[in-house]
Amino acid sequence: MSSTFPSKIAVVGSGAVGSFYGGKLAHLGCDVHFLLRRDLETVRKNGLTLRTEHDAIHLPRVNAHGSTEDIGPCDVVIVAVKTTANRDLETLLPPLLREGTVLLTLQNGLGNEEFLAEHFGVERVVGGLCFVCLNRGEPGEILHFGHGSLSIGEFRGPPQARTQTLVEIFRQAGVETRLVENLITERWRKLVWNIPFNGLAIAAGKAAVDAVLADQGLRTLARNLMSEVIAAAGKLGHFIPPEFGDEQIARSFEMGAYRPSSLIDYEAGREVEVEAIWGEPYRRAVRGGVDCGRMETIYHLVKRLAATGLKP
């Protein structure tokens, strides 16, 4: 591994997450290439801005591309498209690949590493979980409300040097980054919160976190959903201690009227990541032999609501 690895990085899916983490690396001085669609011309002209409440990082010149052919082979590809667009990756990614190209998926939920492994080879795949509150602002502008840490791990096998290097680079770029031993366990831990709170936000009539917690029935249901997710993860070999559920409820009380990203998508009429957050975990739980009636109910309701909500 050369000391300059990764010399060339692509960001596929330059929404809030891709632009934020890619922008951090570009700001550090990495050679980052963004695949853009809607905001291509604006970013070419004005660059990218990562704005917090108090300050902003402005990147006046970024490598903005309209196609992955235009970018060409890279050392690392940050995959940050919405999981509902995963099929597009089958044609988007090949021009970016050479031997040893690492695919770092920063996507939500379960099934994304498997998808990349199946199509592009398991040895390429690294996963990352983002703990960050972001929104898109004006074209070329990302609003950063808080947090920002990453947890990165190999999809399969023990950590490799390349993954440790990625962690180091993100840290140098100012991103609090952790190397995790069991990536999929981390994904399940995140789902312990996302399945109930993103789900009830939609199914309980556009309910922010505080509204779910204020309704005793919904709060109990959220906690019981957590227990189902923890039980499912455990059956599938991903141990999460039972008290983690109580910790997550306690943590949620500090969030106030936070609106989960799925609710924001739903209200805006955008696609909701139904399969990655509810469908795939539910199917794995069933395969694991877990009775998960609450996960089943919330999955089918969110799926239906998201599908009908998309209609004009």
Provide, rounded to whole angstroms, the least separation between the CB of residue 232 and a copy of itself: 12
Instruction: State which residue, 45 or 304, has the beta carbon closest to a copy of itself.
Output: 304
Instruction: State which residue, 117 or 301, has the beta carbon closest to a copy of itself.
Output: 301
Asked if residue 234 binds a copy of itself (CB under 8 A), the reply is no
Q: Which of 114, 210, 215, 271 binds a copy of itself (CB under 8 A)?
A: 215
Asked if residue 213 binds a copy of itself (CB under 8 A), the reply is no
Residues between 244 and 273 that touch a copy of itself (CB under 8 A) = none
Provide, rounded to whole angstroms, the least separation between the CB of residue 15 and a copy of itself: 27
- For helices 183-203 and 293-309, the axis angle rounded to 10 degrees is 60
Of 100, 153, 92, 151, the residue nearest 124 (C-alpha): 100
Provide, rounded to whole angstroms, the least separation between the CB of residue 204 and a copy of itself: 5
Q: For residue 235, indicate whether it is catalytic.
A: no
Q: Is 303 helix (H, G, I), strand (E, B) or coil?
A: helix
Cα separations in angstroms, 120 against 25, 71, 92, 101, 103? 24, 18, 12, 10, 9
Q: Are 277 and 262 in contact (CB under 8 A)?
A: yes
> Dihedral, CA atoms, 200, 203, 207, 211, nearest 10 degrees?
-50
Q: Which of 221, 232, 263, 272 binds a copy of itself (CB under 8 A)?
A: 221
Q: Which of 8, 24, 82, 190 is catalytic?
A: 190
Asked if residue 84 binds a copy of itself (CB under 8 A), the reply is no
Q: Are 309 and 266 in contact (CB under 8 A)?
A: yes
Q: Is 71 exposed, middle or buried (0-12, 13-18, 19+ CB in 10 A)?
A: buried
Asked if residue 185 binds a copy of itself (CB under 8 A), the reply is no
Q: Which active-site residues does the annotation give?
A: 190
Contact residues for a copy of itself, defined by CB under 8 A: 200, 203-205, 207, 215, 217-218, 220-221, 224, 228, 291-301, 303-305, 308-309
